Chains A and B, each alone.
Chain A
């Protein structure tokens, strides 16, 4: 009789012992061991079988045709699949990834709880220095005639249940303290657990003339009647009015920035912003960053400097206004010389500007109407677009206008001379002594005409059915029927 193998029972015994170890002492890391060392089962199985066969052979017993039967090989394949699966599961730890999702459970399944921030008061001298640290939420600052500083507001906490939320609320208590020569307001939101998203909206009422510095990460800021304002934040909108001194804003991504009635300089640095509005600023204005929406500047007593990788605008003084968006820039009553360069195609219209200027566009139309007096040298250049210049009849100037491909139109008078250029270009020259006006387009027409009134404005609908004319004290609208 052929002997029967002992391997199966032996392996069963070994498996039983291992499982027994696991049940008797739960900390026995059976699965970790199994995941790493399950191939030992194959080795043991093969080894035992090998020894068995050699023993049978030495005893002269009949040997099986094959060492392992088909059924046994099937079992081997199953063991290999299970073992590899276990190993992969332990190595790549898919449950860690599940844990990441579980970490967002507060965000997904939680509720928003609201808590009031009780009013805190601190006596303060006139014109205090104040530092506000509010990482998330809106901050409103208002200067009033008072002898103390007051803070209050409310907080929202994202949590699964009320007890968790109030725990986070008490952990992030507002602190109001006098440190050396300044007052510090901290909302302490960084003390909240990461999964409980907290934001604090605070209202600070302080004596007029305060020097305020705000540190935030996200949230809007509103300030009124302070002496100076400094803000650093990653994202948010700002509205500041009646600031006696300087305003400095460093915002990563700005929503809307609106500054009105600023006594000192305004410095705004952003990576990108949407809307910008500056009005009534007596110090120099410096704006860095790209704005995707519109920007408006009006009544700036100092120089304006706007810079981003696509365009540069410099105006020494702006008693009037400049309005710009992605497609055009229009301005009126500028004190030049104006400097504007754009790497992007853009239509430019400047009305009533003095002392000339330099305009260089990658494309787009240019329409200029310099103020009748105080004309300065002008250089206007576009790669592709029409140029139109309106000059006062009494102006003295030297003109040199050239298009490489297009026509020149003289609607000014006999003082100018048209010359056809080879390859479809045109040249318009003339004038006597006076500032030099150079106009150049590579492709487009050039028109020089007599000044007959303000420019019609760049608004798109004006081309279709309405024309809006800005007069000295209002707007005149002409509608087409």
Chain B
């Protein structure tokens, strides 16, 4: 199941980034916040997705490292 989660997370990474990008541009055009100020959100979202991917995949990796 963990592997399936990681695959899913990797698959939705593109669409989620795209939605975020769209929302930021929309904010910019509606005058809420300029894109020049909100663009780091893209990095954060990307980072969070990547992090979730890694944590979803750690179940197997943990068995390798192993605890005493």
Contacts and interface: CB of A to CB of B under 8 A. Distances in A.
Contacts of B18: 42-43, 45-46, 49, 68, 76
Contacts of A80: 21, 25
B22 A67 contact: no
A462 interface: no
Contacts of B21: 39, 42, 46, 76, 80
9 tightest Cβ-Cβ pairs between the two chains A and B = A67-B14, A42-B22, A68-B14, A46-B18, A39-B25, A43-B22, A46-B19, A49-B15, A39-B26
Contacts of A37: 26, 29
A476 interface: no
Interface of B: 4, 7-8, 10-26, 28-30
Nearest to B8: A57
A66 B14 contact: yes
Contact of A43 (B10, B23, B29): B23
> Residue among B8, B12, B15, B28 with the most chain A CB within 10 A?
B15
Interface in A43-96: 43-47, 49-50, 53-54, 57, 63-68, 72-73, 76, 80, 83-84, 87
A41 B18 CA distance: 10
Contacts of B11: 53, 57, 63-67
Contact of B8 (A40, A43, A53, A83): A53
The secondary structure that dominates the A interface is: helix
A312 interface: no
A50 B22 contact: no
A323 interface: no
A43 B16 CA distance: 9
Contact of B10 (A36, A65, A76): A65
A47 B17 CA distance: 10
Interface of A: 35-47, 49-50, 53-54, 57, 63-68, 72-73, 76, 80, 83-84, 87
Given A39-B23, A63-B7, A66-B10, A47 B29 contact: no
A43 B26 contact: yes
A330 to B, nearest CB: 67
Contacts of B8: 53-54, 57, 63
Contacts of B29: 35-37, 39, 87
Contacts of A45: 15, 18, 22
B31 to A, nearest CB: 10
A232 to B, nearest CB: 48
A42 B10 contact: no
Given A36-B29, A50-B12, 10 more contacts: A35-B29, A40-B22, A42-B21, A43-B19, A49-B14, A64-B11, A65-B10, A66-B11, A72-B14, A76-B21
A64 to B, nearest CB: 6
Contacts of B14: 46, 49, 66-68, 72-73
Contacts of B13: 66-67
Contact of A46 (B4, B10, B17, B30): B17
A458 B15 CA distance: 89
Contact of A53 (B15, B20, B28): B15
A247 to B, nearest CB: 60
A68 B15 CA distance: 7
23 contacts: A37-B26, A38-B25, A39-B22, A39-B25, A42-B19, A43-B18, A43-B19, A43-B22, A43-B26, A44-B22, A45-B18, A46-B17, A47-B15, A50-B19, A53-B15, A57-B8, A63-B8, A65-B10, A66-B10, A66-B13, A67-B13, A76-B18, A80-B21
